[in-house]
Amino acid sequence: MVKYMWMLISIISFKAEMRAQVDSTKSDSLLLLEIQNQLGETPVPPPQPQVAASANPNISVIGDMRGLYRSYGTHHFDAVLNEVELSLESTIDPYARANFYYSIGEDAATGTFTSEIEEGYLTTLSLPAHLQLKAGRFKQDVGRINLVHSHALPFIDMPDAYINFFGEEGLKGDGFSLSWLVPNHSFYQELTFEGTSVGENASFERSRMLFLGHLKNFWDLSDNATLELGLTGMNGENQFGRSSNIYSVDLTYKWKPVQFNTYKSVTFQNEIYFNHADLDSIKVNSKGFYSMLSYQLSKRFFLVGRYDYSNTPFSNSYVQQSGSLTLGWYATEFQKIEVGGKYTNINEPVEEFNHEENFEQGYLRWIFIIGSHGAHQY
């Protein structure tokens, strides 16, 4: 009997427990509903299709294959895989992002490969007062083309003035770059200061820090047209162990109708370098500039003309002038083929060009990109 009593009691108590459980679930869900109401009825998002997320950086490889022709000397033609660039780009954490560009280049004459860290730097994302700091190895903020990797330029060969003053690879160094977005409401202004140990170039030695200041001004003239004016000043040590200053002005006008910006555009870009070098015995004031006009014929075709004028960092009597024309066919954002021709005149012929006064050069370039490559600056 007692046994049955116990069984009955335990059944009743179990049922009561069940009810209590049901009740508590009910009150829980009411509470949940109330919380949801208070939270503003945020709808539960529908299930998302699975997308492979990855913490890997954006990786891309860029190939730059070239065919070269020169009228001077005895060796006229070369085919060369000019450069393979590996790029890795990603944010590091909420405070900074990192960009690495590793480049392997082939020498057209010897066929030997050399590799280098083209750039490797971090950029802060969270400094106050509109400041941004870049640290590492990077291309210096001078003019328009120095910041751009060659594959993204609309011409195949670099301007003569650029090569004569900074070298084929341009001006780059290891150090710091601090830029300030000027709180100017009427137009864009950015002021940059850089202190770097520069890589090998014609104007400056690595023995002393190179200091550089750059002011970029940018105006929207209309929805379809923009104007950029850049002013750069830099001071470093030249190969005579003395001081060299280079001042640069760049002016770029772009017309790109917003509605058909993938079909039509015109770019008129100019850059001039004024060099003041204190040599052992004399002071040299020399200059170099280029003027480029790019015209987009259709969605895929670009025609680019350029005039170059250049002295050297240590001579203003040497004058190199050239005119070039490049036709580019852009298959997609990931592939383009360009052909170009260039005519050069030099008043003091040099060994590099077989002591010839006038000569022609021809170029063919095929750029191909795989992977995910970040956007280029405007």
Nearer to another protein (CB atom), residue 200 or residue 220: 220
Nearer to another protein, 60 or 286 (CB): 60
Closest distance of CB 169 from another protein, Å = 23
Compute and round to an integer the Cα radius of gyration of the chain: 31
> How near is the Cβ of 370 to another protein at its closest, in Å?
8
CB of 141 to another protein, least distance (A): 13
Shorter beta-carbon distance to another protein: residue 67 or 257: 257
Residue 18, SS3 per DSSP: helix
Least separation in angstroms between residue 125's CB and another protein is: 6
- b/e burial code for range 181-205 (CB count within 10 A of at least 16 → b): eeeeeeeeebebebebbbbebbbbb
Is 101 in a helix, a strand, or coil? strand
User: CA distances (Å), 234 to each of 84, 210, 348, in order?
Assistant: 31, 7, 28
* Minimum CB–partner distance for residue 131 and another protein (Å): 7
Nearer to another protein, 17 or 220 (CB): 220
Phi, psi of 340 (to 5 degrees): -145, 150
Q: Which residues lie near another protein (CB under 8 A)?
A: 40, 42-43, 45-46, 48-49, 51, 91, 94, 97, 123, 125-127, 129-132, 181, 183-185, 187-188, 190, 216, 218-220, 223, 226, 228, 256, 258-263, 299-300, 332-334, 370, 374-375, 377-378
Q: Which is nearer to another protein, 86 or 127 (CB)?
A: 127
The H or E element spanning position 172 is strand 172-181
Name the residue among 254, 180, 186, 263 with its Cα closest to residue 216: 180
